[in-house]
Amino acid sequence: MDRGGIWERAIKVVDEALFPSGIYCISCGSLIDGTRPYSLCDKCIREFHWINGRRCRKCGKALQDTYKGQLCYDCMAYPHYFDKGYSCMTYGLKERELLLDYKYNGKSYLGKKFGDILYDRMSCENIDADVIIPVPIHRRRERKRGYNQSALMAESLAKKMEKPFLGDAVVRTRETALLRSLSPVERESALRGAFAVCSGALEKVYNKKVLLIDDIYTTGSTADSCSKTLLEAGAEAVLLLTLASGGNKKPVQYVYDSGL
């Protein structure tokens, strides 16, 4: 008997009982009706930074209208293993508050809503894949949190797409330090060898187009490490779909030193 699966289903039942879908805005808590997309009130849905304009042709990060390049600064500076990335929104203050609630405050019920957002992005971009795989977190961290936030979104998306969900195909072999304080080079070093494809999933990913799901995209170090692992296991290609991504910020090495 899969105790982990039973536990996850129990969490979902409790979540739905305590936080019924379509009654409260998932961002501000205002009363809404069931017709509101993603259970967001009209005010909040307007305040989210949806990526509907120019975007990086490699990772999908939003680009400023005045930006002249086709690639964001990070993609110009560092190559990526994934074939192409897509993202739904820019990681601003409002998005950050909701995602932190999702990851650290036990609001696992948001996974289904975020899965709906991912599905709409996938449909708009005409993304197709053979299997759907979430970026894993270490089992120790998952036990403490109660769930893998990327897996909940990915599972919801897979059901809507009617595609195989391989929730345990890729595992995190060791815990890594928090990456947000590290440089891109340090992140790559910290993540080297941190992921593996389970032996039981090798046949399922071999020669398949994988849709890799994560919650937040910054420099792409985590996505790259997972993508490299999947490609080495025989995947045909890896597409990346994330809920939110950081802005197109100019790295230190691109800043012109005027000498002043």
Same domain, 142 and 38: no
Tell me the one-letter amino acid at 165: F
Same domain, 209 and 83: yes
* CATH classification of the domain holding 183: 3.40.50.2020
- Give the domain range for residue 1: 1-47
Same domain, 144 and 212: yes
Nearest Cα to Cα of residue 229 among 182, 187, 190, 191: 191
Same domain, 78 and 184: yes
Q: What is the pLDDT of residues 10-63, one digit of tens each?
A: 555 555 555 566 789 999 999 998 889 999 999 999 999 999 999 999 999 999
Taking the complete model, does pTM exceed 0.75, yes or no?
yes
**pLDDT (0 to 100) of residue 181:** 62
DSSP labels for 123-170? Answer: HHHT---SEEEEPP--HHHHHHHSS-HHHHHHHHHHHHHT--B-TTSE
